[in-house]
C-alpha cells in the first residue's frame, strides 16, 4: 500500500475527529493516491493531512495499519535515539506509543512517553535538564 508520515502538528492545531477539537499531538500526512481510473493525474491530487489528539490517535493509527498502510515517524529514528541515550531503556508498544525509562542519579526511576520519537527525545531531555539542576 502506501506510507503515511506522522509528524508534529503546527502550534494551535486541534484534533479533526468529530466534535473533539482537543490539542493535536500528531499530524498524519497521506500521500496522493495513485488511483487513475477517474481521469485525474496522480500529480494533480492533493496531499491530505489529518491532525489527531492523544485520545483519537491510537485508534486512527490502528485503522491505517490494519488497512495495509505503514505509518512512518518523520520526527526521528528510534535506533539513533537509543544509541544517543545509553542510560535510557527505549521501546515502542504494539499500539505505536514510544516509552523511555531510566534511573536518575538520586536513585529514583522515571518513565516518559510520546507518540512521536521527536517528542520522546524532548521529554527525555526535559528529565535530564531537571535532574541536573
Average pLDDT value for the chain: 89
Task: Identify the residue whose cell numbers are 535510557.
Answer: 88
Half-sphere exposure of 15 (CA within 13 A, CB side): 16
Residue 111 has pLDDT above 80, yes or no: yes
Nearest to 27 by CA among 59, 58, 55, 52: 52
CA distances from 11 to 23, 26, 51, 87, 117 (A): 9, 11, 11, 31, 18
Residue 64 has pLDDT above 60, yes or no: yes
Q: What is the pLDDT of residue 93?
A: 92
Collect all residues with Cβ–Cβ distance below 8 Å to 57 and sequence separation of at least 6.
25, 26, 115
Q: Is the pTM for the entire model greater than 0.85? A: no
Question: How sure is the predictor about 101, in pLDDT bands with cuts at 50, 70 and 90?
Answer: very high
Decide: residue 102, CB within 10 A, 0-12 exposed, 13-18 middle, 19+ buried: buried
Amino acid at each position: 500500500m502506501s506510507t503515511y508520515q506522522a509528524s508534529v502538528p503546527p502550534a494551535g492545531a486541534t484534533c479533526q475527529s468529530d466534535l473533539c477539537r482537543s490539542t493535536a499531538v500528531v499530524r498524519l500526512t497521506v500521500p496522493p493516491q495513485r488511483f487513475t481510473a477517474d481521469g485525474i493525474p496522480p500529480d494533480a491530487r492533493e496531499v491530505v493531512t489529518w491532525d489527531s489528539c492523544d485520545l483519537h490517535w491510537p485508534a486512527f493509527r490502528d485503522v491505517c495499519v490494519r488497512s495495509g498502510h505503514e505509518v512512518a515517524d518523520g520526527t526521528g529514528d528510534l535506533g539513533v535515539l537509543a544509541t544517543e541515550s545509553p542510560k535510557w531503556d527505549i521501546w515502542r508498544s504494539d499500539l505505536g506509543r514510544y516509552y523511555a525509562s531510566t534511573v536518575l542519579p538520586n536513585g529514583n526511576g522515571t518513565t516518559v512517553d510520546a507518540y512521536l520519537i521527536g517528542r520522546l527525545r524532548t521529554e527525555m531531555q526535559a528529565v535530564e535538564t531537571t535532574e541536573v539542576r
